Amino acid sequence: MPRRPAFILLALSLFLASAALLPSTERVARAQTAVKPNILIILTDDQRTPGTIGVMPEVKGRFVGAGTTFTQGFANTPLCCPSRASLMTGQYAHNTGVRTNADATKINHDRTLQKYLHDNGYWTGIFGKYLNRWDVTQPPPNFDRWAIFTPDPGYNDVTYNSNGATIKPNMYSTDYLSTRIGTFLTGAEVRDSSPWFLMVTPYAPHYPYAVEPAYRTTPVPSFFANPAVLETDRTDKPQYVQDRWNELGPVKTTRAKQLRTLMSVDDLVDNAFDQMNRFGEAGRTVVFFLSDNGFMWREHGLVGKSQPYSNSIKVPFYMWGPSRGIARAKTDSRIVAIADVMPTILDLADIDPKPEFPMDGRSLLGSFSRNRILTEFWQEGDTPGSVGTPTWASVRTPTYQYIEYYAADGTTVIDTEYYNLVNDPWQNTNLLGDASTSNDPDTTAAEEQLDHDRACVGTTGDTACP
């Protein structure tokens, strides 16, 4: 059973006393009369799929058991800051300008999700990580309430900008963010005729994977060495992959710590639903559970993110809501992406996007189904090669993935990969790099498609994004 920390019970007693000023029946009635739904996004940091939800019974019960599970959810760019910018704008990174973790200032705050919602009467809040290298002495634009931190140290002894004040609560960061959910809902209760939008963005399970004391010795499921982990011949892979090799022992340790940090996130999810129920808000709220990118546990010898391979680009992607046509216990196999979150939320809120700010993502509420996804990554700096993952882009369909790596100019192709995802779902054989030339596919169409997608803008016309 999930832990109920004493600090949460104490916090509840404080803010529920405030909420009790309104009779519960009146709170529920007022909530049900609102037209626009509340929106809650819980966004983890570096959480892969599959292999992590099993230690999160609340997430599994709430979202898998009673929401929509998107089994083919992708990060358009498997890196923290670009992915978060795509979530906030509905755009791919080549259009946001936020291509690396150093580009936070390039986001256009006039076209963000929080800007649209705030301008349409939403009470907005964010608690946790915002954008990498953002000057946290500055408020995050278009949020009414916030408590944001710098990633370092991330878990303990964390300093926050909390609504303009610098604070350093003596509390594990995930637990502190959990208490802020109730505080935010208390403030939203005063404005109960208006909907609210809240982003809760814990640092888990990002490095350094600091586990809170309650879970430091909690057992985790046995490690499953999938065929990509067991791959021994990597001569078909680009040189930067061949130059890296991680021993399995340390990877198992990293995995165990990551899973234990997610147990605290599971408590946060439990608390979020408890508070929505107590305030009579669950019946009018749509909740997303996502991660900004995946993480590799030694697939192809690699550990971490920023790679074009499946476990780096695939993310947990769940949606829950008792209304608005969101199905219960539904599995949706459409190819979806982080850039789809904003258009979906604007659709939920009946807000028309401004034509001067085209989005690249699509609403997931309708029947739209894409046949491919663009994923892209830019190396920070200008030295491609074995010192880091080179700039790359890929087009991925249900049957294949074609990948190009680029020189410092971003256009000159220096390496390619092609995987038959039907016969080789673990991406162990690059058909363009193995010893045989007889199995080389004709990549002409894939190359043309990738050229188009790397320059795509919006969802209509000749430049439409996939």
In the chain, where are the structural domains located? 6-371
- Helix axes 341-348 and 80-89, enclosed angle (nearest 10): 30
Buried b (16+ CB within 10 A) or exposed e, 234-265: bebbbebbeebebeeeebbebbbbbbbbbbbb
Among the residues of 191-301, which ranges form H helices? 239-242, 248-278
Residue 125's pLDDT is: 98
The residue count of the chain comes to 466
Q: Quick: pLDDT tens for 102-129.
A: 999 999 999 999 999 999 999 999 999 9
Cα 314 from chain centre: 10
Q: Quick: pLDDT tens for 17-74.
A: 444 334 344 334 334 444 799 999 999 999 999 999 999 999 999 999 999 999 999 9
Q: How far apart are CA 462 and CA 466, in angstroms?
A: 11
User: Pick the residue with more confidence: 405 or 324?
Assistant: 405
Q: How far apart are CA 87 and CA 100, in angstroms?
A: 15
Residue 104's pLDDT is: 96
Residue 142's pLDDT is: 98
Q: Quick: pLDDT tens for 178-194.
A: 999 999 999 998 887 89
| Distances 337 to 71, 155, 292, 370, 441 between C-alpha atoms, Å | 11, 28, 10, 10, 27
- CATH of the domain spanning 6-371, picked from 3.40.720.10, 3.40.190.10, 2.60.120.10, 2.40.30.10: 3.40.720.10
Asked whether the predicted pLDDT for residue 326 surpasses 80, the reply is no
Residue 35's pLDDT is: 74
Residue identified by tokens 């947990």 is 316
Q: Quick: pLDDT tens for 432-449.
A: 999 888 889 999 999 999
The token pair at 460 is 């209509």
Residue 152's pLDDT is: 77
Residue 382's pLDDT is: 53
Residue 299's pLDDT is: 97
Counting residues of the chain whose pLDDT is more than 90, the rounded percentage is: 84
Among the residues of 39-143, which ranges form H helices? 57-59, 80-89, 93-96, 113-119
Residue 196 confidence class, pLDDT cut points 50, 70, 90: very high
Residue 385 confidence class, pLDDT cut points 50, 70, 90: very low
CA end-to-end distance (rounded Å), the chain: 42
- Residue in 2, 46, 49, 38 with CA at minimum distance from that of residue 318: 49
Q: How far apart are CA 236 and CA 134, in angstroms?
A: 39
| Distances 394 to 19, 225, 446, 451 between C-alpha atoms, Å | 50, 26, 9, 10
Q: Quick: pLDDT tens for 349-370.
A: 999 999 999 999 999 998 999 9
